[in-house]
């Protein structure tokens, strides 16, 4: 063999050895990576449920308040813990169900938080005690899978071989946190959500599916029992317990689910959860389905704008005008009157108005003094007479009806408890009498 052939052979052997070493040292593993939600599914946790209900001919509406109630013959899933913050709601809800409404409750009467629903003939048993007694043990592989799901729910996912942490989509985290919050309130553990088979029992009088249909539900199950000897019309039961039961109430019915119903995007696609949700919500053509979540209210400013827009605008305009009047001005608010000397009459009237506004009794005393100076020359022995004799003599010396003797005497004696308007009225009487005396004196001089 020639030298070039030997070199090529050695290179080929080295390449084969390198490829074999890489194959021997490499380990291939399948890693499941969640596909992040996008589009409407990233913002709407009930996106999948809407499509399931649309396929059945029903509609979905998510509400944050129980006002108003759903239409007649609709389905209401009550998830809010604060639905009965107003006392009249319980009576209205009962009347709505008895008139033909379909109510869905999560773990009715299990933790005492639904005292306003004691008229519902349905009760659930604590799922923790029920699971400890009847729930089958999962296999080791299922336990490992559940533990891995729990680590994902807690945001502590396993780290791949490349050393980069696996990121959970934000929307999925929000959905799982909401599910965990509901599970903690109902007293269950997330690892209890093992998949099992559920079937409609023989006692069912209104089946949702064909007889013998087996549904693989990935949700925890508890125990439900009817109260007051009421016969259930529909029941979904499995080896792990009862998932749902429906009892009649008036012309409507109440469906109890224990402990919870998987409705959000990620959980609804597990197993046959979509079919179970459609059966519990009674998704039929034309049926309206309402989901009432935690109670919330519109912000105050937004509510004022929608309910009292006109008064709000008027109030804002008044505030704006008030602020405008308080702003710094660069000139007087009105034209300054021209400077001019006032007449003697204006001076006297202005002084009188000032005195009347500041001290009415001082004005009365000054007016009485002026009256006495004008009346003294017309009455003989003025100094030795009292006020009654003086007024009588003065009335005789004047023309009839020139003065009112009684009113003049009362004006001379204004008590200390008189009010300001009474003092000013007495002052006016004295001034009118003084002017009558001056007119009489002027008429005598003329004649």
| Residue 371 covered by a domain | yes
Is the domain of 278 the same as that of 355?
no
In eight-state DSSP terms, residue 330 is: S
d(CA 257, CA 245): 7
Checking if the pLDDT of 133 tops 80, the result is no
Same domain flag for 137 and 258: yes
Residue 315 lies in a domain: no
Whether residue 388 is contained in a domain is answered as: yes
Q: Is residue 19 part of a domain?
A: no
Domain count across the chain:
2
CA 416 – CA 230 distance, rounded (Å)? 88
Q: Is residue 283 part of a domain?
A: yes
At 180 the pLDDT is 52
Residues 350, 286, single domain; the answer is no
Distance CA 99, CA 253 (A): 10
Read off the pLDDT of each residue in 135-150 and give the average, rounded to a whole number: 42
pLDDT of residue 378: 87
Last residue within a domain, chosen from 292, 307, 334 = 292
Name the more confident of 239 and 131.
239
Instruction: Check whether 137 has a pLDDT greater than 60.
Output: no
Domain ranges, residue 148: 39-156+169-292
Task: Flag whether 317 is in a domain.
Answer: no
Amino acid 193: pLDDT: 58
What is the C-alpha separation between 146 and 190, in angstroms, rounded? 9
Q: Residue 341 — pLDDT band, cuts 50, 70, 90?
A: confident
Asked if 136 and 282 sit in the same domain, the reply is yes
Asked if the structure places residue 32 within a domain, the reply is no
Q: What is the mean pLDDT of the chain?
A: 79
pLDDT at 1: 65
CA pair distance 241, 161, nearest whole angstrom: 40
141 and 65 in a single domain? The answer is yes
At 202, the pLDDT band (50, 70, 90 cuts) reads confident
Same domain, 241 and 350: no
């Amino acid at each position: 063999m020639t030298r070039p052939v030997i070199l090529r052979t050695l290179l080929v052997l080295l390449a084969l050895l390198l490829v074999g070493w890489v194959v021997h040292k490499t380990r291939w593993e399948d890693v499941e990576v969640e596909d992040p939600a996008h589009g409407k599914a990233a913002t709407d946790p009930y996106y999948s449920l809407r499509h399931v209900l649309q396929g059945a001919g029903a509609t979905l509406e998510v509400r944050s308040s129980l006002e108003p109630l759903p239409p007649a013959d609709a389905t209401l899933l009550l998830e809010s813990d604060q639905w009965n913050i107003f006392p009249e709601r319980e009576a209205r809800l009962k009347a709505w169900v008895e008139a033909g409404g379909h109510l869905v409750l999560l773990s009715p009467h299990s933790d005492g938080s639904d005292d306003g629903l004691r008229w519902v003939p349905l009760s659930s048993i604590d799922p923790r005690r029920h699971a400890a007694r009847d729930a089958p043990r999962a296999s080791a592989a299922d336990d490992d899978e559940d533990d891995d799901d729990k680590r994902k729910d807690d945001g502590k996912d396993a780290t791949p071989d490349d050393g980069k942490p696996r990121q959970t989509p934000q929307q999925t985290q929000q959905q799982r946190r909401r599910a965990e919050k509901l599970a903690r309130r109902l007293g269950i553990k997330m690892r209890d959500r093992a998949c099992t088979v559920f079937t409609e029992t023989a006692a069912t009088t209104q089946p949702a599916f064909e007889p013998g249909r087996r549904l693989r539900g990935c949700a925890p199950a508890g125990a439900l029992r009817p109260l007051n000897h009421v016969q259930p019309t529909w029941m979904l039961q499995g080896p792990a317990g009862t998932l749902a039961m429906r009892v009649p109430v008036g012309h409507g019915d109440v469906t109890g689910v224990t402990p919870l119903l998987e409705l959000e995007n990620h959980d609804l696609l597990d197993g046959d959860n979509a079919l179970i949700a459609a059966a519990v919500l009674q998704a039929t053509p034309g049926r309206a389905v309402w989901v009432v979540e935690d109670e919330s209210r519109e912000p105050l400013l937004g509510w004022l704008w929608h309910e009292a827009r006109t008064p709000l605008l008027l109030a804002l305009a008044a505030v704006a005008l008030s602020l405008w009047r308080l702003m710094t001005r660069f000139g007087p608010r009105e034209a300054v009157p021209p400077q001019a000397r006032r007449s003697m009459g204006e001076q006297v009237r202005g002084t009188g108005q000032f005195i009347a506004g500041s001290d009415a009794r001082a004005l009365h005393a000054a007016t009485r003094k002026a009256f006495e100076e004008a009346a003294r020359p017309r009455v003989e022995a003025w100094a030795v007479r009292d006020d009654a004799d003086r007024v009588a003599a003065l009335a005789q010396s004047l023309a009839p009806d020139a003065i009112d003797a009684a009113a003049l005497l009362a004006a001379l004696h204004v008590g200390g408890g008189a009010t300001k308007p009474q003092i000013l009225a007495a002052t006016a009487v004295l001034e009118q009498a003084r002017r009558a005396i001056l007119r009489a004196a002027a008429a005598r001089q003329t004649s």
